[in-house]
Amino acid sequence: MNPLAQQLNDTIQRDNPNIHAMLSRLGRQIYFPKEGILSQSAEAGSKAKQFNATIGIATEGGIPMHLDVIQETLSAYNPKDIYPYAPPAGKPELRKLWKEKMLKENPSLADKHTSMPIATNALTHGLSIVADLFAEEGDVVIMPDKNWENYELTFSIRRGAEMVYYPLYDDNWMFNSAGLREALFAHRDKGKAIVVLNFPNNPTGYTPGREEGQAIVKAILEAAEAGMRLVVVTDDAYFGLFFEDSMHESLFSSLASLHPNVLPVKVDGATKEEYVWGFRVGFITYAAESEALLAALEQKTMGIIRATISSGPHPSQTFILRALQSPEFEAQKQEKYRIMKARANKVKALLDSGKYGDVWSYYPFNSGYFMCLKLNTVPAEQLRTHLLDAYGVGTIALGDTDLRVAFSCIEEADLEKLFDTIYQGVLDISQ
C-alpha cells in the first residue's frame, strides 16, 4: 500500500472506522500524489519568479499559448480562465460559490459538517467516483425500480455490485419507504449497502413530500442502527425544479449527522439545473463529523479524478462560475423555472381533463423534466415505435407499460397536440 493511501486510511479509520469499512479495495488504495507533477508545479506557481518550467502547458508572452481561431469566439474570457488545466478538484472560486448556493438552497445544512464540493465531469462522473470508492464485487446497490438506467452500468457492470430494486410507490402512490426498509433489511447480513436516492426522480418526475422524506430517513436510520454501513447517495440532478408542495431540500441535509454508520454523498451539478447539458460540470460533496476525515475523502476523490480524467474542463467551469457571479443569474433561472412549471401544470391539466378516457393512468409527478404514463391497453414498446413511424413523435418506453414523456423539451402550446397524438397512437394499436 502506498504510504499516502495508508495515511488517508489511518485518518478515516481513526475518525470513523465504519466509513473505512465502506471503502472498496480501490477506495483503500487510491490517494492523490503529493509529490508528483501537480504539487511540484503548484509550488513553482508561487515561488518560481524567474522561469516556471514545470507543467505541460505552453505559454507565450506570459499567458497561456492559444490559437486566435479559438480565442476570437471566446473573447469575453481571459485566456488564463480557459486554456490551462483546471485544478483536479475544480476551480476554488467555483467550489466556494457552489457550496454557498447549496447552503442557501438547503438551509438545514447550515449546522452540518460537509466537505467543499469537488468538481466532477458532471453527475455521471460523480456517481462513478462513488462507485469506484465504495462499490465492491457483490456489494448491494439499493434503489427504486423506476430509475435512471445508467446506474446499472456505473455500479453493476463497471464495479460488479448487485442491483437491488424496490417499488418506487406504495399502494397509496406515495414514496415506498417501507419497500426501501425491506430491501435494506433483506441484505442486513452483508453489513453494507449503497443506497441511491434521486429526487426529482428520473423517469417519473416524482419528489416525495416532507413526511415521506422523514420516513426515508427513518428507514435508513433503522438499518444503520441495526448495524448496516450505508453509503447514501443523493443524485440531485434535477434539484430545484420542484413545482408543487414536495420536499424542496435535498435529503442530503437530513442524512448529514444522522448516524456514524451513514455516509451521505451529494452528487449534483449544473447539467440540468443550469441547462448546460454538454458543459460537464458537476460536484460531489460528503458529509461527516470530522474535518480530517472529510479531507481524506476529498484526497481519495481527487485521486480517482487524477487517475481517470486528470482534471475537469476549465472553460465550462469558468462559464458556470461567471453565471453564478452574475447579478442576472437568479432572475434568468427563475424565468426558466416558470416555463418548466407551466409545462408540468399543463400536462397535469390535460391528463386530468378526462379527454383520454382510461387508456392510461399516470405516475404521480411534481418536479423535474419528465412524467411517465402507465399504459392500460397497449405495450409501451409497440406504442413507442408506432408513434415514431406514424407520427414522428419520440418517447421512451420503459418496461411493458411505462412511457416516459420529457415535457422539458416540448413547448407548452404543443403539449396538447403531443398527448392527443399519443392517445391517437394508442387507439390505432388497439383497433
The footprint of ligand PLP (CB under 6 A) covers 122-124, 148, 198, 202, 235, 237, 269, 271, 277, 282
Q: Is the CB of 79 or the CB of 315 nearer to ligand PLP? A: 315
Minimum distance from residue 205 beta carbon to ligand PLP (Å) = 11
Considering beta carbons, is residue 151 or 356 the nearer one to ligand PLP? 151
Instruction: Compute the least distance from the CB of residue 125 to ligand PLP, in Å.
Output: 7
Q: 329-352 and 314-325 helices cross at what angle (nearest 10)?
A: 90
Across the beta sheet with 262-269, the strand order is 118-120, 282-286, 262-269, 229-235, 192-197, 140-144, 162-166
Of 16 and 250, CB closest to ligand PLP: 250
**Residues 409, 129: Cα–Cα separation, whole Å:** 30
Sign of the CA dihedral with 148 first, then 342, 273, and 254 last: negative
Nearest residue (CB) to ligand PLP, 237 versus 262: 237
Cβ 202 to ligand PLP shortest distance, Å: 4
Whether 247 contacts 286, CB under 8 Å: no
CB of 284 or CB of 373, closer to ligand PLP? 284
Smallest Cα–Cα separation from 404: which of 142, 144, 148, 123? 148
Rounded to a whole number of angstroms, the CA Rg of the chain reads 23
Single-letter amino acid, residue 278: G
- Least separation in angstroms between residue 314's CB and ligand PLP is 17
Closest approach, Cβ 177 to ligand PLP, in A, equals 19
Please identify, using beta-carbon distances, which residue of 264 and 269 lies nearer to ligand PLP. 269
**Residue 98 corresponds to which cell in the numbers above?**
457552489
Q: How far apart are CA 346 and CA 245, in angstroms?
A: 17
127, 159 in Cβ contact below 8 A?
Answer: no
Q: Closest approach of Cβ 153 to ligand PLP, in Å?
A: 12
Nearer to ligand PLP, 16 or 147 (CB): 147
Nearest distance in Å: CB 362, ligand PLP: 19
Cα distance between the two ends of the chain: 67
For ligand PLP, which residue has the nearest CB?
122
